[in-house]
Amino acid sequence: MSAAEILKTYFGYDSFRNGQEEIVQSILAGKDALAIMPTGAGKSICYQVPALMLPGITIVVSPLISLMQDQVKALNEAGIHAAFINSSLTETQIAKAMRLAAEGRYKIIYVAPERLESAGFVQFAQNGRISMITVDEAHCISQWGQDFRPSYLKIVAFIDSLADRPIVSAFTATATKEVRTDIECTLKLHDPQVVVTGFDRQNLYYSVEHIAGKHKDAFVLDYIRKHADESGIIYCATRKNVDNLYEKLSQNGILAARYHAGLDNDTRKKNQDDFIYDRVQIVIATNAFGMGIDKSNVRFVIHYNMPQSMENYYQEAGRAGRDGENAQCILLFSVQDVMINRFLLEKKEFEGMDADDIALVRQRDTQRLRVMEGYCKATTCLRNYILEYFGEKASTPCDNCGNCHREYTEQDMTADAKWVVNCIAEMRGRYGLNIVLGTLLGANRARLKEIGADAYKSYGILKQRSEADLRLLIDQMLAEGYIVQTGGEYSVLQMGDISRLKEKGARVVVRKAQEREEPAGRTRKKKTDSLTGAGFDLFDRLRQLRLTIAKEEAMPPYIIFSDKTLIDMCAKAPRNQTEMLAVSGVGENKYQKYGERFIQEIGAFLAENPNAVVSTQIDE
């Protein structure tokens, strides 16, 4: 079989994606390969397809147990003999797997890097026929990266111990220039074919919402209600935020799972599984969640707080839309987030590092935070901001992010800013935001009279302004440090560093966002756009069937079929084997296992809804 035939027969896909074929062909020509492709680009296919065509076994080194298990399940579902050997197995299970491997029962074997040091495994590899070593998450080999795994350094010695050097292929989603060179050198790749497909993930819609802390819950609630039925992750900066939001959602009747380091292992595992197996749609988590989560149908990732770096943000937000369908990445930003992050960095401990290094790391952290803050405050294309940061040339604005769909007007509010300062001075920093606003606007409130605010010079001085404008102004002044807001239960506004405000030429500029009406036809086409109301009903039925099967097989639903495949099934409404095999993501083996049940379900639906039009052609 040719590579294209393998792709169709086992994986059910009609064509390779950008970059895949180049890697596959160069591996088949016996060349080493290094592929840097973003999450969801389809790295696994790049080594799985050639693995099936090479004469011997492919050993895949992977850092995470959960990833290996997922991959092996997916391969077995596709009818490919694969296994993993790692510490989640008992000694007896390992012995059995090794015996079967030695008998040549597996084409692909996943191992943790530590396994390469075990005498038994080395012996197996020396006696068996190993065609390729694939290093997944190859950036783990670099000391530059955040995920350095010392055991990755042993891979080379293992390769050297084999009499015939196998082909070596390495894959990663994150590689700055340093890391890339590190991978090439440390792994001793021989003149590798290097393929870099770029960072951009066109199916992700980025947006930043400026929302004061206490209004964030309302935003999340509203969003979830409007996106019922969609799977999503909500990242919070702290455990406490996770717990609070979890409470809030429960009170409002929304089922969610939560995940943070304060929960015991079993609870964490259970909550994670609930999410992966689609038993709950929403997970609220700290950044401890997500390593090794391969769930493909995550439709949104909301950041309740600003993360500490763009690297973190891109990785976490990138868990959305792995299936290539549209997904949203929303960051809820408030000025407090910056202050909290600064505080966390100050508090960060550096054990066993010398003073110079500490200074360097601090500097780097501060710089990263600044970049992240820049993203939150950017008024131009967010996608381009990200791409430029990761060293890619960005071209025209993407027309697929919050800022591209928004217009900003700038307003010079320097004079108003000085009155805010005066007002806080008159109050001697004893009152909070609402009192300050009320005073400046000259509100007729009993509370203001009670404290004598109506006698202030600043009382009513800005009454021609709207409250919303003044809120924006105060946000801006907080961000620039002219005033500060104390934490705690009763938070008050106090004077910050106003020296710069007194300088000549000082300006306080407030940017106001205006949502632009979407001109018809401008938004990106979604796969589901072609589905009619009846089409969505059918999609729901197919999802139900998938869930039933997933339970029977004790398998995550997305391993049975991805959302994308189900949508294609709705659009094509296959009635027989040939038509079913034409659906993207339906290979021979999956057809044998599940094809008929889906054909029946579709048939039943069409019989019950004889006049239903499930899908209409839309222009791509």
Interface with ligand ADP by CB under 6 A: which residues?
13, 16-17, 20, 37, 39-45, 296, 322-324, 562, 584
110 binds, among ligand ADP, Zn ion, none (CB under 5 to 8 A by kind): none
Q: Which of residues 95-154 bind Zn ion (CB under 5 A)?
A: none
Q: Report the nearest approach of ligand ADP to the CB of residue 321 (Å).
A: 10
Looking at the DSSP bridge assignments, the partners of residue 130 are: 57
303/319 with CB nearer ligand ADP: 319
In Å, what is the CA distance from 12 to each residue of 4, 75, 287, 593?
10, 12, 34, 14
Question: Would you state the torsion angle of the CA atoms of residues 78, 84, 90, 94, taken in this order, to the nearest 10 degrees?
Answer: 110
56/397 with CB nearer Zn ion: 397
289 binds, among Zn ion, ligand ADP, none (CB under 5 to 8 A by kind): none
Q: Report the nearest approach of ligand ADP to the CB of residue 312 (Å).
A: 17
Single out the residue of 116, 381, 477, 599 in contact with Zn ion (rule: CB under 5 A).
381
Q: Report the nearest approach of ligand ADP to the CB of residue 12 (Å).
A: 8
Report the b/e string of 79-110 with b at 16+ CB within 10 A.
ebebbbbbeeeeeeebeebbeebeeeebbbbb
Does 583 engage in binding with Zn ion (CB under 5 A)? no
Write the DSSP symbol of residue 390. T
Does 383 engage in binding with Zn ion (CB under 5 A)? yes
322 binds, among ligand ADP, Zn ion, none (CB under 5 to 8 A by kind): ligand ADP
Q: Give the whole-angstrom CA distance, residue 531 versus residue 536.
A: 6
614 binds, among Zn ion, ligand ADP, none (CB under 5 to 8 A by kind): none
Encoding tokens for residue 584? Answer: 């993207």
User: Which residues 6+ apart lie within 8 Å of 170 measured at CB?
Assistant: 33, 34, 35, 134, 135, 138, 183, 187, 189, 192
Q: Report the nearest approach of ligand ADP to the CB of residue 70 (Å).
A: 9
In Å, what is the CA distance from 346 to each residue of 339, 362, 586?
11, 8, 52
232 binds, among Zn ion, ligand ADP, none (CB under 5 to 8 A by kind): none
134 binds, among Zn ion, ligand ADP, none (CB under 5 to 8 A by kind): none
Place of tokens 């710089």: 367
Q: Report the nearest approach of ligand ADP to the CB of residue 136 (Å).
A: 8
Residue 260: Cβ-neighbour burial (10 angstroms; 0-12, 13-18, 19+): buried
Number of residues engaging Zn ion in binding (CB under 5 A)? 6
Q: Report the nearest approach of ligand ADP to the CB of residue 39 (Å).
A: 4
User: Which amino acid is residue 516, in one-letter code?
Assistant: R
Q: Which of residues 399-438 bind Zn ion (CB under 5 A)?
A: 401, 404
The CB-nearest residue to ligand ADP is 42
48 binds, among ligand ADP, Zn ion, none (CB under 5 to 8 A by kind): none
139/383 with CB nearer Zn ion: 383
Q: Report the nearest approach of ligand ADP to the CB of residue 296 (Å).
A: 5
398 binds, among Zn ion, ligand ADP, none (CB under 5 to 8 A by kind): Zn ion
Q: Report the nearest approach of Zn ion to the CB of residue 333 (Å).
A: 17
Q: Report the nearest approach of ligand ADP to the CB of residue 5 (Å).
A: 13
287/328 with CB nearer Zn ion: 328
Single out the residue of 387, 398, 437, 508 in contact with Zn ion (rule: CB under 5 A).
398
CA angle 175, 176, 177 (to 5 degrees): 115
User: Which residues 6+ apart lie within 8 Å of 174 measured at CB?
Assistant: 139, 145, 311, 315
220/401 with CB nearer Zn ion: 401
Does 61 engage in binding with Zn ion (CB under 5 A)? no
Give which of 203, 92, 221, 70 is closest to 136, Cα–Cα. Answer: 70
Q: Report the nearest approach of Zn ion to the CB of residue 383 (Å).
A: 5
Write the DSSP symbol of residue 405. T
26/296 with CB nearer ligand ADP: 296
62/272 with CB nearer ligand ADP: 62
User: Which residues 6+ apart lie within 8 Å of 141 measured at CB?
Assistant: 135, 148, 149, 152, 153, 155, 182, 183, 186, 187
Encoding tokens for residue 132? Answer: 């390729």
Q: For residue 400, which phi and psi values (nearest 5 degrees)?
A: -145, 40
Encoding tokens for residue 262? Answer: 């304060």
44 binds, among Zn ion, ligand ADP, none (CB under 5 to 8 A by kind): ligand ADP
User: Which residues contact Zn ion (rule: CB under 5 A)?
Assistant: 381, 383, 397-398, 401, 404
